[in-house]
Amino acid sequence: MIAFRYIYIYITIFFSFNVLDSKESIESKALQDSKATIEEKDSNATQNTQIDSNNTNKTYKLNAITAFSDNDLNKFQSSPAVINRQIIESNPSGNGDIGSLLRILPNVQFDNSQLSSNTPGEISPANISISGGLHYQNLFMLDGMNINNDLGAGYNNLAGGNRLNTGTASQGLAIDTSLLDSITLQDSNISASFGGFNGGVIEATTRRPTKKFGAKISYQITQGNATPKAISMTNYYLLDSNLQDFLISTSSSNQPQFIKHLVKSSIESKINDNFGILAAFNTTQSFIPLRRGARNSNNLFQTPADPQDYADMQTQKRQIYNAFFKAYYSAT
Give mean pLDDT, residues 123-145. Answer: 86
Percent share of the chain, pLDDT over 90: 23
Lowest mean pLDDT among 56-65, 82-91, 269-278, 289-298: 289-298
Sequence spans of domains, the chain: 1-52, 71-329
Please choose, from the candidates 198, 182, 178, 180, the residue with its C-alpha nearest in 3D space to the C-alpha of residue 190. Answer: 198
What are the Cα distances from residue 293, in Å, to 159, 252, 303, 308, 318?
Answer: 15, 12, 5, 15, 20
Give me the pLDDT at residue 292, please: 73
Specify which of 5-14, 107-116, 151-160, 258-267 reaches the highest per-range mean pLDDT.
258-267
pTM of the predicted protein model: 0.65
Backbone phi, psi, residue 240, to 5°: -60, -35
CATH of 71-329, one of 3.30.2270.10, 3.10.180.10, 2.170.130.10, 3.40.630.30: 2.170.130.10
| pLDDT, tens digit, 9 for 90 and up, residues 161-205 | 455 555 567 787 888 888 999 999 988 888 878 887 888 899 999
Q: How many CB atoms lie within 10 A of CB 40?
A: 10
Distance CA 34, CA 208 (A): 84
Distance CA 124, CA 116 (A): 14
Q: How many CB atoms lie within 10 A of CB 27?
A: 10
| pLDDT, tens digit, 9 for 90 and up, residues 1-32 | 333 333 333 333 333 344 444 444 444 555 55
Backbone phi, psi, residue 85, to 5°: -65, -35
Coil, strand or helix: which one is 43?
helix
Give mean pLDDT, residues 137-143. Answer: 90
| pLDDT, tens digit, 9 for 90 and up, residues 245-289 | 888 888 888 899 999 999 999 999 999 988 999 999 999 999 999
